[in-house]
Amino acid sequence: MRHRGQNRDILQPGYDTPKIDPDPKARSADKWLERLYGVHDLLDAKCVSAKLERHVRVAILDSGVDLPLPVCQETYKRIIGFKDYIDTENKAHVDTDGHGTHTLALVMKAAPKADVYVARVFRGRGDNGAISKRNSKEVNTDIAERDSTKIHQGIAQAIRDAVDEWQVDIVSMSFGFERAIPEIGEAIRYAESKNVVLFAAANNKGGNEDVCFPARLSQVICIHATDGEGNPASFTASSEQGEDNFAVLGERVMSNWPLGLGQGHQVRKSGTSCATPIAAGIAAMVLYFARSYLALNPDKFPADRFHFEKLSTTDGMRKVFHRLAKPRGAGYNYVCRWEVFEYTLDSTFMDLILMDLKKI
């Protein structure tokens, strides 16, 4: 079954009507995404004739990609770049874990007009925390240290390559570390200086641990998780006073999965690592609309166009996310105000964005 408008085979890839999931959280997650697709249809109707120099570009740093074929054949065309920082001689798309495939497809769901670039920076989710307390006694620590150093260096280089080689607008990072990694921090600061917007997952250990690195950096937009009705997920990190505390759908979310892993072509997953690519996709959607509107209306905002360049900065995108968010208990800002996009019928949404950007 296909939806109106954009090709959404990454949600229902050409099959008949899907089974209704009895889990209410699964159903509410599906409805949340359906509302987002309604925004896509609205923007498509208004922006389809815009002549843009290029598509919005999003880089996903994760475990790689292995979209199920043939159902996602068309989707593969949107993957413009792939680089493996673990098996550096490898040129083929690969994902032996599934995490990267799941997150990449979520970006594509949230931003159907974006081009995506994939950096394989770890083999599996166990690599994320380098030498964690839970596994340090199970492996040779010298080997683990060398492996973690390679992962850290690979992530840092992937961020720099995403900026310099792929020239992306947005970087999505669905991983985190307990301690700060200096080389990754330096690469993030470099990306931020080049006006690249970075997103990272908070953590999945609830109130037991603080927000992970790099999500806690000021140059990164930290993303928490909710269910489809905006209730904070039990596993998401506690909100912090004075922080943005943005929260996006991240519980029981359906997305694609490698067929070779034996769980079918799509599975439901939960985590801030699911919320983060959706947030990155929303940011790409905002950039697509703003650039399209300015291209279609060259006489609008003649003295203020330079302000809209701030949308390509972390601080600028934070302003827009606050515009799209509403308070949802426990200090979180739930990103869900899709009605704001209904203002695309005139210039009101752009007026609101401009008012916010002028404050930076």
DSSP for 205-247, please give it: SGGGSPPPBTTTSTTSEEEEEE-TTSPBPTTSPPP-TTS--EE
pLDDT of res. 127? 61
Sign of the CA dihedral with 252 first, then 255, 259, and 264 last: positive
CA 222 to chain centre: 11
- What pTM was computed for the model? 0.90
Phi/psi of residue 34, each to 5°?
Answer: -60, -40
The answer on pLDDT for 187 being more than 60 is yes
Share of the chain above pLDDT 70, in %: 86
How would you classify residue 173: left for phi > 0, otherwise alpha for psi between -120 and 50, otherwise beta?
beta
Summarize the confidence of residues 199-222 as an average pLDDT.
Answer: 95
Find the range with the poorest average confidence among 12-21, 162-171, 230-239, 347-356: 12-21
Q: Residue 245 in contact with residue 334, Cβ under 8 Å?
A: no
> Which is nearest to 222 in space by CA: 210, 232, 214?
214
Q: What's the chain's average pLDDT? A: 88
Share of the chain above pLDDT 90, in %: 72
Each residue's pLDDT tens digit, 123-174: 986 665 432 333 333 334 444 566 889 999 999 999 999 999 999 999 999 9
Distance separating alpha carbons of residues 288 and 312, to the nearest angstrom: 11
The answer on pLDDT for 71 being more than 70 is no
The encoded tokens of residue 57 equal 């570009």
The encoded tokens of residue 95 equal 């994902």
Amino acid at 177: F
Each residue's pLDDT tens digit, 226-240: 999 999 999 999 999
pLDDT of res. 254? 96
Greater model confidence, 81 or 4: 81
